[in-house]
Chains A and B, each alone.
Chain A
Amino acid sequence: MSMINYASREINCKLVYYGPGLGGKTTNLEHIYGKVSPNTRGKMISLATETERTLFFDFLPVDLGTIRGFKTRFHLYTVPGQVYYNASRKLILKGVDGLVFVADSQIERMEANVESMQNLYDNMAEYGYDLTRIPFVIQYNKRDLPNAAPIKDLQAALNPGWTVEDGARQKVTPDPSHPGENLIDKIGGDWVGHAAYHEAVAVRGDGVFDTLKAVSKLVLKTLS
């Protein structure tokens, strides 16, 4: 639920980083916090347990620039990944404008990824939000690890596609980040859409800003 403040000329949007526990959601925010100039970001708030696992959420406000004289202010949130924190996870999704799903690429974490993605669909549906229609980007994190699953397998499990029913969107839409691949394509007579994806090694910062830029751009485009 973006909020436009005509008095202070600000557009405020809420982005949520979702995904299984220990997948790198907080690491994404920490990298952004470390790289963005202190003039354009606020304080990072972490509600974590003593062992530094996210208990409720991490929060980081970032200004991404000015459009039409309006400051674009993004509020970045992470959710706790552990299954048993679903109540607080759901609270953070309220009013979300854009979503990043941070998947752990390790083969051993495939099941945790699928479970978390299902949980995201369920929680969004409970609010009446349609995940296939709001800005949504998947980040395949930990690509540097030797046990990382191939992208093809991760895509098949986590981003298999959905039927595009909206006639206005039924057109071949190339994926700007992956030449030769399409975000919307006609497959066997049906129009099928996929979420955009990015590969990342969040501890090194690789792919972190690509993901943030991709989802922020989608959010702003929903206002245009």
Chain B
Amino acid sequence: MAGAASWSFNENDFKQIQTHLQAFLRDSNARCALLVDRNGQLVATVGEPPQFDPTAFASLTAADFSANDQLAKMIGEPEFASLVHQGERESMFLADVAKRVILVVLFDQRATLGLVKLKAKTVVGTLNKVFEEMFNRVGTGQAQQKGLLEGAEDEIDKLFG
């Protein structure tokens, strides 16, 4: 393999993800859910818009999850599929989705960790299927990407002067 494989998602994927996460937020009383890819790129945000820089947040989330993955291995666990960071007012719950994406749930005193965990289990199961289908579309996905910038060499050259 020359490098890591790319992946893409379209409008329909996005809508599907959004619907599932909105239902999850309603059921769990959590404020906001973010999906971050394991390389630190933000995939989607649902719920109350976060008051922080979501790009920086996504990169730190991925680093946090990766570091914890390595810690798990060191103590003989294959992984920590979920993590909790509990604050006085604001807390975070993180869970692995399809080994490629991280679900981050932000919640405050209106929600309980128990309920968030319980409801997250269901939505993670659903999202696993959605993402696996997306990743399985490798053939079409690659064809789409190949075509995206095909013949755009001049435009790329122009962009960089």
A: residues with CB less than 8 A from B are: 1-7, 11-12, 14, 42-43, 45, 47, 56-57, 59, 61, 64-65, 67-68, 70, 72, 75, 77, 87-88, 91-92, 94-97, 127-130, 133-134, 213, 216-217, 220-224
Q: Does residue B41 face the partner (Cβ distance < 8 Å to A)?
A: yes
A95-B38 contact in complex given A56-B63, A61-B55, A88-B67, C-beta closer than 8 Å: yes
Q: How far is the CA of A134 from the CA of B5 in the complex (A)?
A: 12
B: residues with CB less than 8 A from A are: 1-11, 13-14, 37-41, 43, 53, 55-56, 59-60, 63, 66-67, 70, 144-146, 148-153, 155-157, 159-161
Contact of A130 among B1, B148, B155, B157 (CB under 8 A): B1
The chain A residue sitting closest to B59, CB to CB, is A59
Q: Which residues in A have their C-beta under 8 angstroms from that of B67?
A: 56, 88, 91
Q: B1 and A64: CB pair below 8 A?
A: no
Q: B40 and A221: CB pair below 8 A?
A: no
Contact of A67 among B38, B55, B59, B149 (CB under 8 A): B149
Q: A4 and B160: CB pair below 8 A?
A: no
Q: B149 and A220: CB pair below 8 A?
A: yes
Q: A96 and B55: CB pair below 8 A?
A: no
11 example contacts (A-B, Cβ-Cβ < 8 A) are as follows A4-B6, A6-B9, A7-B14, A64-B160, A75-B41, A92-B63, A96-B3, A130-B3, A220-B152, A221-B156, A222-B3
Given contacts A4-B144, A5-B9, 9 further A-B contacts (CB under 8 A): A7-B13, A56-B63, A68-B148, A91-B66, A95-B38, A129-B3, A221-B153, A223-B148, A224-B151
Q: B3 and A97: CB pair below 8 A?
A: yes
Distance of A144 from chain B, by nearest CB (Å): 25
Q: A1 and B1: CB pair below 8 A?
A: no
Q: How far is the CA of A67 from the CA of B157 in the complex (A)?
A: 11
Q: Which residues in A have their C-beta under 8 angstroms from that of B63?
A: 47, 56-57, 91-92
Q: B149 and A224: CB pair below 8 A?
A: yes
Q: Which residues in B have their C-beta under 8 angstroms from that of A88?
A: 67
Contact of A45 among B38, B60, B148 (CB under 8 A): B60
Q: Which residues in B have their C-beta under 8 angstroms from that of A57?
A: 63
Q: How far is the CA of A5 from the CA of B8 in the complex (A)?
A: 6
Q: How far is the CA of A95 from the CA of B7 in the complex (A)?
A: 11
Q: Which residues in B have their C-beta under 8 angstroms from that of A67?
A: 149, 152, 155-156, 159
Q: B6 and A2: CB pair below 8 A?
A: yes
A1-B160 contact in complex given A42-B56, A94-B38, A94-B66, C-beta closer than 8 Å: no
Q: B149 and A223: CB pair below 8 A?
A: yes
Q: How far is the CA of A1 from the CA of B150 in the complex (A)?
A: 18
Q: Which residues in A have their C-beta under 8 angstroms from that of B8?
A: 3-6
Contact of A1 among B6, B9, B161 (CB under 8 A): B6
